[in-house]
Copies of this chain bind each other. A is one copy, B any other.
């Protein structure tokens, strides 16, 4: 089940609520990424305390380890990871396509190699649905063909058409009535292809729509352009999910364009690398200027980390590579992003989103370094920032 209600709009920004079998998700919402059935370094209670209302997990990783059959036997993904809130799973397609493990691609599906042991596996739209039904997530995603940045228009067109055929097959393959399936709009950097894809998928009447194929290494302005052109063409009564986006300023900008749902590994990954969010931008907690700072990393922050520990202590833990740092840094960055979503939602409900967004973006220093890092991270790793 999924009931989506738009409660308020402010220009193109929306506030709403998605109701699932595992509870409501006020939108706009950000999904922390729990790639391997765990948001790295956090317990379910930690996650809840950051304000998370839904978690994303990666079918590709869980399929390979520990296996979806095992998770099904143990009562499904919610029980396995002791998270009783909503879960969205991706289809596994992004990992297969973007991370160099692809062996063979046909209309039937894809052949890929495991990043763990090199074994070969086949993934089809039907199998992606079945795996996600075995996991028992609340929201499943269709298998899509997501080309990397720099592919030709011809390749983009072929990918869109294949994505559409796969979307139809995915809908056919569904068996569980307690799980919903979202479609994914592709089309690369072509406004025309994105329009066609949005229009075709809308005709299939999915309960929600994602914009895929961004955050694959393109310049930021291109991502903004795609969202700007695509979001208004999606059905207004369905949730709109922008996959793989999640730096603070991107969240604010894309909410302004009508996006309801986001996921991204960036806030948690950069936290582990020592980069923490503040209202003035990111800071490197390992920087010598924090060595003896007695206050919290973000004055006034309501997260557990800021309420409990000095920046000097975080600096020490980070420099000493102490395990506790990874948890404390992750908690801070997630709470920062999730609080930002709460504030954005309140601003939409109060009819003051524009002023809120301007104020936040004025104060938040987005460095070129940040953009470069974000792009490098989105390309570089098996559990990339998109999905």
Interface residue A349 (Cβ < 8 Å from any Cβ of B): no
Instruction: Mark A38-69 against chain B: 1 for CB-CB distance below 8 A, else 0.
Output: 10111110000000000000000000011000
A379 → chain B, closest Cβ, in Å?
A: 22
Contacts of A142 in B (CB 8 A): none
A8 → chain B, closest Cβ, in Å?
A: 37
Query: Cβ of A65 and Cβ of B320 under 8 Å apart?
Result: yes
Interface residue A308 (Cβ < 8 Å from any Cβ of B): yes
Q: How big is chain A's contact interface, by range?
A: 35 or more
**Among the listed B74, B80, B312, which residue makes an inter-chain contact with A66, where contact means beta carbons less than 8 Å apart?**
B312
A131 → chain B, closest Cβ, in Å?
A: 16
Q: How often does this chain occur in the complex, in copies?
A: 2
A271 → chain B, closest Cβ, in Å?
A: 11
A57 → chain B, closest Cβ, in Å?
A: 12
Contacts of A326 in B (CB 8 A): 323
**Among the listed B41, B42, B65, B292, which residue makes an inter-chain contact with A74, where contact means beta carbons less than 8 Å apart?**
B292
A320 → chain B, closest Cβ, in Å?
A: 5
Query: Cβ of A320 and Cβ of B36 under 8 Å apart?
Result: yes
Contacts of A36 in B (CB 8 A): 316-317, 320, 322
Q: For window 283-330 of chain A, which residues contact chain B by CB distance below 8 Å? A: 291-292, 294, 308-310, 312-313, 315-317, 319-320, 322-324, 326-328
Known: A65-B316, A308-B82, A312-B66. A40 touches B74 (CB 8 A): no
Contacts of A44 in B (CB 8 A): 308
Query: Cβ of A324 and Cβ of B65 under 8 Å apart?
Result: no
Contacts of A294 in B (CB 8 A): 74-75
Most central of A41, A80, A313, A319 by chain B CB within 10 Å: A313
Query: Cβ of A323 and Cβ of B82 under 8 Å apart?
Result: no
Query: Cβ of B292 and Cβ of A324 under 8 Å apart?
Result: no
Query: Cβ of A291 and Cβ of B323 under 8 Å apart?
Result: no
Most central of A70, A317, A320 by chain B CB within 10 Å: A320
Between-chain CB contacts (< 8 Å), 23 pairs? A36-B322, A40-B322, A40-B323, A42-B324, A43-B324, A43-B327, A44-B308, A65-B319, A66-B291, A66-B316, A70-B291, A70-B292, A70-B312, A73-B292, A74-B310, A74-B312, A80-B312, A80-B313, A80-B316, A81-B313, A82-B313, A323-B323, A327-B327
Distance A40 CA – B317 CA, assembled complex (angstroms): 10
Query: Cβ of B322 and Cβ of A38 under 8 Å apart?
Result: yes
Interface residue A198 (Cβ < 8 Å from any Cβ of B): no
Contacts of A327 in B (CB 8 A): 41, 43, 323, 327
Interface residue A37 (Cβ < 8 Å from any Cβ of B): yes
Contacts of A328 in B (CB 8 A): 43
